[in-house]
Amino acid sequence: MKAELVRIGNSRGIRIPKPLIEQCGLRDTVDLRVEEDRIIISSERKPREGWSEAFRAAGPSDSDELLIPDLPNVFDNEEWQW
């Protein structure tokens, strides 16, 4: 599908046909980004949307181990009063 660029003040824009808006689930606000030579328009995502699914997909955490071993901490040993 081709669309014409229209003048909007000092900028240019396109009109997105209603069926495309509905098919993509676009609302009042969208995310815009450039990938290579393309402009990508996508539905706005809420912060941290999908994180819980990603954590579940990562598997159980019972085999987690520290990537950096415990290092001596001078502050804990000398400056902190319990």
Higher pLDDT, 21 or 72: 21
Structural domains of the chain in order of their starting residue, each with its CATH number: 1-45 (2.10.260.10)
Tell whether the model's pLDDT for residue 77 goes beyond 70. no
Helix, strand, coil proportions of the chain in percent (round to 5)?
A: 25, 20, 55
| Full-model pTM | 0.50
Nearest to 14 by CA among 27, 1, 25: 1
The per-residue pLDDT for 1 is: 84
pLDDT digits (tens, 9 = 90+) for 39-67: 999 988 777 888 888 888 887 776 667 77
The per-residue pLDDT for 45 is: 77
Higher pLDDT, 77 or 4: 4
- Give yes or no for a contact between 45 and 30, defined as CB atoms under 8 angstroms apart: no
Residue 46 to residue 49: CA distance in whole angstroms = 5
